[in-house]
Amino acid sequence: MSLTFRWQSPSNIALVKYWGKRDPQLPSNPSISFTLDACHTQTHATFEPGQGIQVLLNGEDAPNFVPKISQFIERIGHRHAWLGDYSLKVDTVNSFPHSSGIASSASGLSALALCVVDAALALGAPLQESDARREASILSRLGSGSASRSVYGGLVVWGATHSVPGSHDEYAVPYPHAVHPMFRTFRDVVMLVDVGQKAVSSTAGHALMERHPFAQQRFNQAHQHLSDLQSILRDGDLMPFLDLVESEALTLHGLMMSSQPSYILMRPNTLHIIEAIRAHRLSTGMPIGFTLDAGANVHVLFPAEVEQKAMDFVKQILAPFTKNGRYIVDQVGTGPVPLTDQAKPK
């Protein structure tokens, strides 16, 4: 029997960063992210009795991705033994350009995990709907830690922490506390500073946390930040929110710079953008801030209510620091959606 399932799943941007892990893909500290909207992956996965893995990216054969998918299938095999009897064809399309420097692992692996869970359900796995989403988060995590958070919309927490009831190291959960409505539509404009392959992968970066001199302090700080966010998110305290999120971004890069061996992923234009944002916030009082993922690009964060002025600033002041003036306009999204046949990736 041939089974095909189709999901669109978004990328996400962490506000409190996951940095450091232990086997099997469990986080050293809790993290929280905004699920994105425009940056997503559409995946059609076909399972047929047999063996082998084929990956199509944007309609073209992509053998380079086969090892990553094989590793994923191996890692989830203990939960889904049936996969051993099926071949897999993954037909995947990213909404953002492959060369943009935006990681596709969170959106891509979560989309595939959602397809695997649907296939397991079709084959009779005893999962309720809410268990199915949790299972998708567990599988996503085994593929890539941050992918565990992409299976829900809005604000999502991964990693057990005392201030978030229900939080768990094995799967992500929707943020359970009160959230000011402003954070449901927050904007994220990704300034594409460097679109090449990263010099040091996230996986290698996580490994460097194992013997990092500041590791324990950092892990404690992440718990504290999750707890501090509770009143900030509830009350819509914008300036403290931006301060905390920026401190997380700079801490992440500070950890890279203080690893053994040390490395730097920011580029000169990353700093130019950061300084311009901070100067603008200081001189105008506009609630605009930034975060960084494990790369040189800058995510510019601001509430929808200042969109027009913020976008003028992005276009006039920040865009000249990017590669060919490129940036991606995104915002907080509502999470993955199952696709119908009409929405088959082209």
CA 59 to chain centre: 24
In whole angstroms, the minimum distance from the beta carbon of 155 to ligand DP6 comes to 13
Using CB under 6 A as the binding rule, whether residue 251 contacts ligand DP6 is answered as no
In whole angstroms, the minimum distance from the beta carbon of 290 to ligand DP6 comes to 14
Using CB under 6 A as the binding rule, whether residue 270 contacts ligand DP6 is answered as no
Q: How far apart are CA 40 and CA 60, in angstroms?
A: 18
Which residues contact residue 168 at a Cβ distance below 8 angstroms, ignoring those fewer than 6 apart? 158, 159, 160
Q: Which helix (H) or strand (E) holds 247?
A: helix 238-257
In whole angstroms, the minimum distance from the beta carbon of 161 to ligand DP6 comes to 14
Residue closest to 146 by CA, chosen among 96, 192, 201, 107: 107
Tokens of 240: 């403290």
In whole angstroms, the minimum distance from the beta carbon of 23 to ligand DP6 comes to 12
Using CB under 6 A as the binding rule, whether residue 71 contacts ligand DP6 is answered as no
Using CB under 6 A as the binding rule, whether residue 294 contacts ligand DP6 is answered as yes
Taking the least distance from each CB to ligand DP6, the nearer of 6 and 141 is: 141
Q: Helices in 210-237 by DSSP H: which ranges?
A: 215-235
Q: How far apart are CA 51 and CA 191, in angstroms?
A: 41
Using CB under 6 A as the binding rule, whether residue 105 contacts ligand DP6 is answered as yes
Q: How far apart are CA 33 and CA 149, in angstroms?
A: 7
Using CB under 6 A as the binding rule, whether residue 293 contacts ligand DP6 is answered as yes
In whole angstroms, the minimum distance from the beta carbon of 27 to ligand DP6 comes to 8
Taking the least distance from each CB to ligand DP6, the nearer of 139 and 252 is: 252
Q: How far apart are CA 163 and CA 227, in angstroms?
A: 5
In whole angstroms, the minimum distance from the beta carbon of 308 to ligand DP6 comes to 29
Residue 127 dihedral angles phi and psi, to the nearest 5°: -120, 130
- Give the one residue of 5, 8, 14, 134 binding ligand DP6; rule: CB under 6 A: 14
Cα→Cα distances 238→99, 153, 177, 279, Å: 33, 21, 17, 17
Question: Per-residue contact track with ligand DP6, 193 to 232, x per CB under 6 A?
Answer: ---------xx--x--------------------------
Bond from prior residue into 261 cis (ω within 30 degrees of 0)? yes
Taking the least distance from each CB to ligand DP6, the nearer of 76 and 310 is: 76
Using CB under 6 A as the binding rule, whether residue 159 contacts ligand DP6 is answered as no
Taking the least distance from each CB to ligand DP6, the nearer of 293 and 330 is: 293
